[in-house]
Amino acid sequence: MTTDLSTDPLTAPAEQAAPWWRGAVIYQIYPRSFADGNGDGTGDLAGVRARLPHLKSLGVDALWFTPWYSSPLADGGYDVADYRVIDPAFGTLDEAEQLIAEAAGLGIKTIVDIVPNHVSDQHEWFQAALAAGPGSPERQRFWFRPGRGEHGELPPTDWESSFSGGTWTRVTDPDGTPGDWYLHLFAPEQPDLNWNHPDVRAEHERVLRFWFDRGVAGIRIDSATMPVKDPALPNEVTPDAHPFVDRDEIHDIYRGWRAVADSYAEPRVLVGEVWLADPHRFARYLRTDEMHTAFNFDFMMRPWDADELRTAIVSTLDAHGPVGAPPTWVLSNHDVTRAATRYGREDSSFGFVARAFGIPTDLAKAQRRARAAALLSAALPGSLYVYQGDELGLPEVEDLPLDVLQDPMHFRSGGTDPGRDGCRVPLPWTSDAGSAFGFGGTPWLPQPANWGDYSVERQDGDPRSMLTLYRTMIALRRSEPALRGEEFAWAAGDGDDVLAFRRGEDLLCLVNFGETAVDLPSHLEVLLASGELTGSQLPTDTAVWLRV
């Protein structure tokens, strides 16, 4: 006897629960700036544990922690000295295990960050490579090369670092003479690993298991297009023949990682940091035996403009469709200017090169748009990332004193790029300035005097606050079947200044980017609006979810 699965109510596709990561809300924690449990001014795991109720009440499904491992913090932890040790500034491995378990007890999963492209120059492998000298097996795990020029005084290539400047640093050999150069696509404190070396591959698979065995649900993969290099190290860099970005051989690494992730009874999830302009090259990372999802930076970088965002949505959905992976929606993270500042600028797009001091912004407008953008991104099918503090509407802190800045992007730009510290300022929990607004200690970056206005305490229970908007929005994503599903269609009204799309049978999302209010279509119920509706109209810079 055969069973017609399509009519069996228990197994019909619509009834099967989608894997959690396809529609999850994932909250990004930058541990240094989230909450300080021991009063030393640096956020830590004790602080996160104490604030788990906040995350529970926000309704998120998972937490992504930027690196919490032992690190000299030359690049905010993306210079990992030892993956098996929690940085003492953040706590202990024991506390990390407790945190993972406590979060799981609240129904919240944990994602950790893995940084395959490079390690810290303090990592034991790199220290061993320096000590062992030229031509040693220890140096094979990195990219050591003799320099060009008569005396090797010129770097092996002229490649430019993502952090400005060159990508090679010359070492002094154990005998005191100038020696070879090593490759670092980022800061000199972040030597690049050689992924052609079997140790590099084996060690990373062990690291994955180390954290998967401790109950983490997945990993976020840093700079995921960059670990593989053309071994010939050609000097020339063109978009078509790129020696260190998106090399075809890279996919084999992630296939190996996927096999590790799939070997668990509850398969673990791979999320890639994939910055690629070409949506089709991007989608190759999401084939069914590679990563599960990857950050959608195209959407994040677009200006506040209906056509621009529509283009990003269309190309995102088109690229993901054929590989069957869900899109992700991201408004900001620890590397970019916060939405609640950026959207008030004349040019509200994001680009690393365009970053500068003193760009004027209209904060009230940015706040209004950040609210609408939250509703827009939360209404799209796929998973949603919330960067800590976005749920409070925190703006970028643009007037940090120069002498407190820490970001290598600032220093390596020669001081023209303000860097990424302004989106990393410790969070305000209360309105009490005396306790660093509930963060604790003397924060490693100073908080603005008005930070208390954005605090959780101030916003809690206020029906008009950003926090209330985020809580309601996330709760609706969970409770509305149309938002849990993956159905999406453009709707009547979608046009020059308005984005309009339908989710499932009965839910309509509209966002007005224009300068004048537009009429709402007939509807049964307003589920949620990002601002006050004027009669039956949707004002400028406002989004609404309607039941139709």
Summarize as ranges the residues that interact with ligand NOJ (CB under 6 A).
75, 78, 115, 186, 222-223, 273, 334-335
Distances (CA, A) of 242 to 50, 183, 190, 197, 351: 46, 16, 21, 20, 21
- In whole angstroms, the minimum distance from the beta carbon of 423 to ligand NOJ comes to 11
Q: In whole angstroms, how close is the CB of 156 to ligand NOJ at the nearest point? A: 21
CB of 16 to ligand NOJ, least distance (A): 34
Q: Using an 8 Å Cβ cutoff, are 445 and 424 in contact?
A: yes
In angstroms, the CA 427 to CA 61 distance is 21
- By three-state DSSP, how is residue 478 classified? helix
- CB-based contact 296:350 (threshold 8 Å): no
In the complex, least distance from residue 188 CB atom to ligand NOJ, rounded to whole angstroms: 13
- 328-330 and 383-387 strand pairing: parallel
Structure tokens at 13: 């596709």
Beta-bridge mates of residue 25? 384
Answer for the pair 37, 85: CB distance below 8 angstroms, yes or no. Answer: no
Q: Which 3 state secondary structure label does DSSP give 107? A: coil
Which residue, 223 or 459, has its beta carbon nearer to ligand NOJ? 223
Please, what is the minimum distance in Å from the beta carbon of residue 91 to ligand NOJ?
21
Q: Which is nearer to ligand NOJ, 115 or 544 (CB)?
A: 115
Q: Which of residues 223 and 413 has its CB atom nearest to ligand NOJ in the complex?
A: 223
CB 112 within 8 A of CB 103: no
- Compare residues 70 and 459 and give the one whose CB is closer to ligand NOJ: 70
Nearest residue to 389 via CA among 90, 110, 33:
33
- From the CB of residue 154, how many other CB atoms can be counted at a distance below 10 Å? 14
CB of 307 to ligand NOJ, least distance (A): 28
Helix, strand, or coil (residue 472): helix
Measured from the CB atom, is 245 or 375 closer to ligand NOJ?
245
Q: How far is the CB of 334 from ligand NOJ (least distance, A)?
A: 6
8 A C-beta contact, residue 86 and residue 52: no
Q: C-beta of 335: minimal distance to ligand NOJ in Å?
A: 5
Task: Name the residue whose CB lies closest to ligand NOJ.
Answer: 78
Residue pair 193/119 in contact (Cβ under 8 Å)? The answer is yes
Shortest separation between residue 166's beta carbon and ligand NOJ, angstroms: 16
44 vs 222, which CB is nearer to ligand NOJ?
222
Question: Whose Cβ is closer to ligand NOJ: residue 46's or residue 193's?
Answer: 193
Distance between first and last Cα of the chain: 43
| Least distance (Å) between residue 313 CB and ligand NOJ | 23
116 Rama sector, left if φ>0, alpha if ψ -120 to 50, beta otherwise = alpha
3-class DSSP string for 326-395: CCEEECCCCCCCCHHHHCCCCCCCCCCCCCCCCCCCCHHHHHHHHHHHHHHHHHCCCEEEEECCHHHCCC
Report whether 75 contacts 190 (CB < 8 A).
Answer: yes
502 to 117, 167, 306, 493, 548: CA distances (angstroms): 40, 47, 16, 11, 9
The first and second tokens of residue 445, run together, are 């970056």
Q: Which is nearer to ligand NOJ, 115 or 193 (CB)?
A: 115
- Nearest approach in angstroms of CB 21 to ligand NOJ is 20
For ligand NOJ, the closer of residues 273 and 417 by Cβ is 273
Identify which of residues 335 and 480 has a Cβ nearer to ligand NOJ in the complex.
Answer: 335
Q: How far is the CB of 222 from ligand NOJ (least distance, A)?
A: 5
Give whichever of 245 and 456 is closer to ligand NOJ, judged by the CB atom.
245
Angle CA(263)–CA(268)–CA(271) in degrees, nearest 5? 130
Two structure tokens written together for 289: 């035996």
Q: How far apart (Å, rounded) are the C-alpha atoms in residues 10 and 251?
A: 37
CB-CB contact of 283 with 325 (8 Å):
yes
Pairing of the two strands 489-490 and 498-503: antiparallel
Nearer to ligand NOJ, 276 or 474 (CB): 276
CB closer to ligand NOJ out of 306 and 405: 405
Smallest distance from ligand NOJ to CB 162, Å: 7
Q: Tell me, what DSSP letter sits at residue 243?
A: S
CB of 344 to ligand NOJ, least distance (A): 24
For tokens 């007890």, name the residue: 105
In whole angstroms, give the CA distance from residue 544 to residue 528: 6
Give whichever of 186 and 470 is closer to ligand NOJ, judged by the CB atom.
186
